[in-house]
């Protein structure tokens, strides 16, 4: 599949994601991306030149094992009948890209370009979402590289909510720091609730840190790659009902 253009017919939506890409093989294919292009991204994130452990063989091996594990993760709920085919296509595109462990410049440059940033580095979580939406022919806001643009656009469209019980697979979640007006955005693979009534979302997201195994409660908005994660729904989360467009 061409990384800069997608044909929805090629996605073969009747097949599960695992039949469209092989995360372990893709990890090997893009190993040079991890070891060479990581330097700039980690410098931006405060690691400076001290990234040898990130690009070491042991790190690569750990990531390959994690990718293999992620590829076996099953959604906590079946695809909702109202989830659009386009949103499902978006998720497949983003999950495929996450399996490649994108870094800057590398594949991240494609996401930034999709959001209108053709030179230089910028936080790219919203650009990652933009890339998936464009590939699936889903509408996007003006200035889609900024999370706050997604919030304002969703409000105008009437698809912005804070009610997690209305959120479906294929919707988006985000938070905004009221002080800086910066935030983080992610796509939702599934929504579930535990016996204590705590909601969690399985996500695919860019410019984020690796999952820890437990549902994440951090509000860190930066990282070095794209991952499938599990997040506890926090009080400041808002959601964009893409599936209702």
Q: How does pLDDT run across 158-206, given as a tens digit for each residue?
A: 999 999 999 999 999 999 988 888 999 999 999 999 888 999 999 999 9
Q: Are 138 and 211 in contact (CB under 8 A)?
A: no
Q: Is the dihedral of CA 199, 200, 201, 207 positive or negative?
A: positive
The three-state secondary structure class of 238 is strand
DSSP β-bridge partners for residue 174: 185, 238
Lowest mean per-residue pLDDT among 17-31, 49-63, 93-107: 17-31
Output the CA torsion 130→220→209→120 (10° steps).
50
* N-to-C CA span, the chain: 27
Q: Which residue has the tokens 């949103």?
A: 87
197 compared with 82, residue with greater pLDDT? 197
Between CA 229 and CA 144, with CA 200 as vertex, the angle to 5 degrees is: 60
Q: Backbone phi, then psi, for 238, in 5-degree steps?
A: -125, 165
**Average of pLDDT values for 210-224?**
81
pLDDT band of residue 29 (cuts 50, 70, 90) is: very low
CB half-sphere exposure, 52, CA atoms < 13 A: 1
pTM of the model: 0.69
The three-state secondary structure class of 93 is helix
Lowest mean per-residue pLDDT among 98-112, 133-147, 207-221: 207-221
d(CA 136, CA 193): 29
CA distances from 87 to 28, 114, 155, 240, 241 (A): 28, 17, 19, 12, 10
149 compared with 222, residue with greater pLDDT? 149
């Amino acid at each position: 599949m061409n990384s800069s253009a997608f044909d929805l017919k090629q996605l073969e939506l009747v097949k599960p994601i695992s039949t469209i890409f092989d995360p372990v093989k893709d990890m090997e294919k893009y190993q040079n991306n991890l070891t060479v292009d990581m330097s700039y991204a980690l410098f931006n994130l405060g690691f400076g030149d001290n990234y040898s452990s990130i690009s070491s063989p042991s790190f690569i091996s750990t990531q390959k094992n994690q990718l293999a594990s992620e590829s076996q993760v099953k959604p906590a709920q079946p695809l909702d009948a109202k989830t659009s085919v386009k949103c499902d296509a978006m998720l497949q595109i983003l999950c495929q890209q996450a399996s490649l462990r994108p870094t800057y410049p590398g594949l991240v440059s494609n996401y930034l370009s999709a959001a209108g940033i053709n030179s230089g580095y910028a936080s790219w979580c919203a650009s990652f979402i933009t890339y998936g939406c464009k590939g699936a022919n889903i509408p996007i806001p003006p200035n889609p590289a900024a999370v706050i643009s997604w919030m304002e656009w969703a409000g105008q469209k009437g698809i912005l909510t804070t009610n997690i019980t209305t959120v479906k697979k294929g919707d988006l979640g985000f938070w905004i720091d009221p002080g800086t007006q910066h935030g983080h955005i992610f796509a939702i693979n599934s929504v579930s609730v535990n016996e204590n009534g705590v909601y969690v979302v399985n996500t695919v997201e860019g410019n984020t840190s690796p999952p820890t195994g437990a549902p994440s409660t951090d509000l860190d908005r930066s990282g070095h790659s794209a991952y499938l994660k599990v997040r506890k729904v926090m009080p400041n989360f808002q959601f964009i009902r893409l599936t209702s467009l």
